[in-house]
Structure 1
Amino acid sequence: MRVDIYRRPEAQGRFSHLVVPEGKPIPQEAINTDWTSEKRGVEMDETQGHWDELGIPEPGRQLRDKGYAITSVKEQPRQ
């Protein structure tokens, strides 16, 4: 699946990531002025159980259920 990736800074030099299907807007419930575009049109395998580099568990389920996938608070990566 081709996706657009956004990120926002968190405490202690960590980041949260938000992923939406390519070209789709960030859904209303996830709008946050801190999100900045990181990458556009990236091919990601949503059938994976975890996107380690983004700290996102169950990306396929999140995309299906919410229309976006987001970093788990427990897994915010440093970048």
Structure 2
Amino acid sequence: MRVDIYRRAEAAGRFTHLAVPEGRRIPEEATNTDWDTEVRGQDLDEDAERWEHYGIVQPGAQLKEKGYAITGLNEPEGG
């Protein structure tokens, strides 16, 4: 699946990542935060258990349920 990845800065130099299907807008419930574009059209396996680099677990389930996938609160984002 091709997704657009956005990020926002958190404490201690960490980032939260948000993935939406390529070309779609950030869902309204997530627009209350300033997101910076990290990459557009990233091809990632939505069936993967985790997108390690972004700290996103069960991305396919999140995309299906919410229309986006986001770094978990307790998930370390990769490098």
Bin of the TM-score, shorter chain as denominator length: over 0.9
Aligned partner of 1:41: which letter? G
Give structure 1 stretches of 5+ with no counterpart. Answer: none
Whether the aligned pair in 2 keeps the contact of 1:15 and 1:78 (CA below 8 Å) is no
Higher relative contact order structure (alpha carbons within 8 Å, sequence separation ≥ 6): 1
Question: Residue 65 of structure 2 aligns with which residue?
Answer: 65
Identity level (%): 58
- 1:36-71 C-alpha deviation (Å, 9 max, x unpaired): 000001100000011111000100000000000000
Q: TM-score, normalising length from structure 1?
A: 0.94
Give structure 2 stretches of 5+ with no counterpart. Answer: none
Question: Residue 38 of structure 1 aligns with which residue?
Answer: 38
Give the aligned length.
79
Aligned partner of 2:11: which letter? A
Find the aligned partners of 2:76 and 2:70 in 1 and give their Cα distance.
10
Question: Residue 18 of structure 1 aligns with which residue?
Answer: 18
Question: Residue 2 of structure 2 aligns with which residue?
Answer: 2
Question: Residue 74 of structure 1 aligns with which residue?
Answer: 74
Q: TM-score, normalising length from structure 2?
A: 0.94
Quote the offset at 1:77 in angstroms: 2.1
